Amino acid sequence: MRQNGQIIAITGASSGLGQHLAEQAASRGMRLALMARNKNKLYDLAEKIGGDILVHTGDVTSETDSKEFISAIVEKFGSLDHLITNAGQSMWANFDQIEHTDLFRKLMNVNYMGVVNCIHPAIDVLKKNYGQIVVISSIQSKFGVPAHSAYSASKHAVDGLIDSLRFELKNSGINFMTVYPHWIRGTRMRQNALGSNGEKIGDQKRSHNKSSVSAENCACYILDALPQRRESLYIPRKLKYLPALKLLFPPIFRWLIRSKINSQK
Ligand SMILES: NC(=O)c1ccc[n+]([C@@H]2O[C@H](COP(=O)([O-])OP(=O)(O)OC[C@H]3O[C@@H](n4cnc5c(N)ncnc54)[C@H](OP(=O)(O)O)[C@@H]3O)[C@@H](O)[C@H]2O)c1
């Protein structure tokens, strides 16, 4: 009930986790501002949810589109309580098989610059409201894994950015919560991932192992955590021990990661 009437902005709302976040936030009485590139999907979602939703078609890699999204929120609602930077893209290719390093630029643009572009114009409006920035990162921001070098690097960059902002904006009233999920099932992440030729790998049969979490549950954990104004949220919670395992027992850590990745192939 404490979330009723709060204004929440979600990037990458046209599919997967973002879509579930939007649907569940609306069912908790929150007022929505949604952004993604796919106009039809966004409008279909807004129609399905119903009510007075701000729909903004745009690309988070564009500073202009991102600024316009935040301006449209201020114009429509006058304030903002939570900004969830969720838009993202992955990959599936080993480094020595990647044909062009442009793949690195693409993923850095979406996963890192996409976060910078959206949170930079939102700082002033969030300050006024003791608002919150929720960054959907990945456990891969804590260590690299095979076939995901550019993705892991882009998520590491986001962690560095948010660490710095926590210092700089300590007295601003803004809370920064970073979300570290494991594999999430029921999203388009795999299909949208870039392959060795730099193009989306498209529909492929890839199995999720038992430790994956459904997008529905993941969205629920994130929304439940909003009132707690935490610094971090690991999904599932036991993931928070992995960085310590890497530090203390590197060979065991590498064996574990290799076996987890192989179980996904
Ligand atoms: N799935 C997993 O296993 C997993 C695990 C850990 C973390 N995550 C993170 O969870 C987040 C959501 O991913 P997902 O699994 O829900 O994947 P998804 O189903 O592929 O959704 C990605 C969303 O991001 C949007 N997007 C991509 N590029 C964009 C851009 N340049 N500008 C604006 N929107 C853009 C897409 O919409 P448009 O194409 O319409 O723009 C889509 O709505 C990502 O940040 C991802 O890194 C996922």
Q: Is the CB of 184 inside a 6 Å radius of any atom of ligand 1?
A: yes
CA of 130 to the centre of ligand 1 (A): 27
13-71 pLDDT, tens digit each: 999 999 999 999 999 999 999 999 999 999 999 999 999 999 999 999 999 999 999 99
121-152 pLDDT, tens digit each: 999 999 999 999 999 999 999 999 999 999 99
pLDDT for 204 equals: 73
Q: Is the CB of 183 inside a 6 Å radius of any atom of ligand 1?
A: yes
CB < 8 Å & 24+ apart, contacts of 192-197: 192/89, 192/90, 193/89, 193/90, 193/91, 193/92, 194/89, 194/90, 194/91, 194/92, 194/93, 194/103, 194/106, 194/107, 194/150, 195/91, 195/92, 195/93, 196/93, 196/94, 196/97, 196/98, 196/99, 197/99
CA of 19 to the centre of ligand 1 (A): 10
Kindly report the protein residue whose alpha carbon is nearest to atom 29 of ligand 1.
87
174-201 pLDDT, tens digit each: 999 999 999 999 999 999 999 999 999 9
> Tokens representing 39?
């106009």
> Tokens representing 67?
């600024």
Share of the chain above pLDDT 70, in %: 97
Q: Is the CB of 34 inside a 6 Å radius of any atom of ligand 1?
A: no
Share of the chain above pLDDT 90, in %: 91
Which listed CATH number (3.90.1150.10, 2.40.170.20, 3.40.1010.10, 3.40.50.720) goes with 7-240? 3.40.50.720
Question: Which of the four pLDDT bands, split at 50, 70 and 90, describes residue 106?
Answer: very high
Whether residue 213 contacts residue 236, with contact meaning beta carbons closer than 8 Å, is answered with yes
Q: Is the CB of 117 inside a 6 Å radius of any atom of ligand 1?
A: no
Q: Which ligand 1 atom sits closest to the C-alpha of 110?
A: 31
Q: Is the CB of 89 inside a 6 Å radius of any atom of ligand 1?
A: yes
Average pLDDT, the chain: 95
Q: Is the CB of 115 inside a 6 Å radius of any atom of ligand 1?
A: no
